[in-house]
Structure 1
């Protein structure tokens, strides 16, 4: 496994020009995400079947040739379990690999679990046991050891023969087009822009709060989200989620009351003045401006009964198709479908995932008749 380390723009230009002559390239990234809001890119692995390159984006000033490769629609980009990789590309280069296919998704169409790891598939299809001991390494540290570099290189070196075997199998089984559709769906889901004004809906337990308390939680969650982006810090390093919930539920308006409720002392010291201001403003709102109480699907009449009916249908299709139930329709996807029917009156502008692409004929139409 011979690889070259790319540290200069001129090297990168040459490598990417050559890679764009290939039908497909293998891609992977190594990144660190411990305290930051955005993943911090440490290394990019690229393999076109001839040249295996480890690209160091921390020292290359001009990454435009790599961005051009990502956007070259004549070259298929192959990745494995690429949800976070897509986020890395989007945040680092403001673009995504196009077109792209995920080998984890390809494997799911062949009866593997949706979250089957790369090492497990390489062992299963290639009979090679990979060393994964460097998976938790600090990819921002320099210099990287030979063992770390070899670990990174292996992720794309063995991805090519794995992809070739999965491609043959998905084509023979008739699932290749569906695998491409599902990979595209993954891209679309991963790059949706979150609305800071709706951040309060993601706070655990928010459904328990009354509209008056939600009126406090909503601006607090929006402030925390924007502050996390501004400072590139993970949300809970700005202000813990449970502490935010406590402030909203109790309407805390003093530093002392926050401390007596056991809120994180450092966060209170830093942000109490801002939080008090937000709480006071929220408490002055007229009741007609309060957010609606959050209505959970599971609390609606007949939900459990209907969910079971849909789940049983998914199991039937799973048995006939050989696809895992969670891959066919996860709990989240079934809830999205129920919400579409019950709350959105089957709005054609908000079609749920089970009613799109390969799922529609296989499962969606059957579910639609049942609800």
Structure 2
């Protein structure tokens, strides 16, 4: 595993093809109050790019925005609803097309209520993730080695999880339903950003 640490933006000339795994780290779970601090990416090749944004680095990151907005790249998230909303709100980018391993898990693993990334990596891939740094200070001016390792681990295995869930979605006859959910996520993110986060607008 190689972790590439970037402050402010991705370097010039860095390109990706096919699909990239994406995750974010923020100061908290409020989309409006808590700022976006880190965006991490992986091409599924064992390397991770961890980019600090916001704070002293600002959100003027044209290379990162170009990658996230590239319509030829599938973005693989775990709990895309939050990440897509943060990326739209702070960077002004629609991170589409997308795939969400958490939604795929909920559609296929209906025998359990455990759909967190740590559980999925352990049960489906035999990989144990540490969540020790999850609530650390992501707004710090520079990130520690422990924070970088944690951020990288959140994207390094998403390609492998997608392969597992692609098979399960076909097996359960829910691939088309999953795609419809993925297509709806940007709209769901916009509802969250406009304060319909806790409401089911489809209810009676």
Flag the 1:72–1:37 CA change in 2: closer, same or farther, 3 A.
Answer: closer
2:61 counterpart residue number = 63
Secondary structure of the structure 2 residue equivalent to 1:73: coil
C-alpha separation between the residues in 1 aligned to 2:31 and 2:83?
16
Match of 1:32 in 2: 27
CA–CA distance in 1 between the matches of 2:8 and 2:85?
24
1:115 Cα deviation (Å)? 6.4
Match 2:101 to one of 83, 100, 103: 103
Deviations 1:113-163 (A, max 9, x none): 566111011111011221111111110013321111101100001222112
1:363: which partner in 2? none
Q: Which residue pairs with 1:191 in the alignment?
A: 190
RMSD: 2.6
Q: Secondary structure at the match of 1:125?
A: helix
- Which aligned pairs between 1:290-369 and structure 2 lie closer than 5 A? 336-337=202-203, 339=204
Query: Is 1:4–2:15 an aligned residue pair?
Result: no
SS at structure 2 position matched to 1:13: coil
Residue pairs, 1:78-97, within 5 angstroms: 78-97=76-95
Shift of the alpha carbon at 1:8?
A: 5.5
**Cα 1:97–1:114, aligned 2, differ >3 Å: closer, same or farther?**
farther
Distance 1:162 1:80 in 2: 10
Correspondence for 2:154: 155
Q: Are the counterparts in 1 of residues 77 and 100 from structure 2 also a CA contact under 8 Å? A: yes
| Greater Rg over alpha carbons, structure | 1
Deviation track 1:61-112 (CA, whole Å, cap 9, x = no partner) reads 7412222222222111010012221221111112221111110011112124
TM-fit CA distance, 1:40? 0.7
Higher helix share: 1
What is the alpha-carbon distance in structure 2 between the residues aligned to residue 88 and residue 158 of structure 1? Answer: 22
Displacement after TM superposition at 1:178 (Å) = 1.4
Q: Is the 8 A contact 2:69 2:96 kept in 1?
A: yes
Larger relative contact order (Cα-Cα within 8 Å, sequence gap ≥ 6): 2
- The number of residue pairs the alignment matches comes to 198
Task: Structure 2: state its 5+ residue gaps.
Answer: none
Cα 1:166–1:65, aligned 2, differ >3 Å: closer, same or farther? Answer: same
SS of corresponding position for 1:30:
strand
Instruction: Compare the two structures and name the one with the higher strand fraction.
Output: 2
Q: What's 1:127 paired with?
A: 126
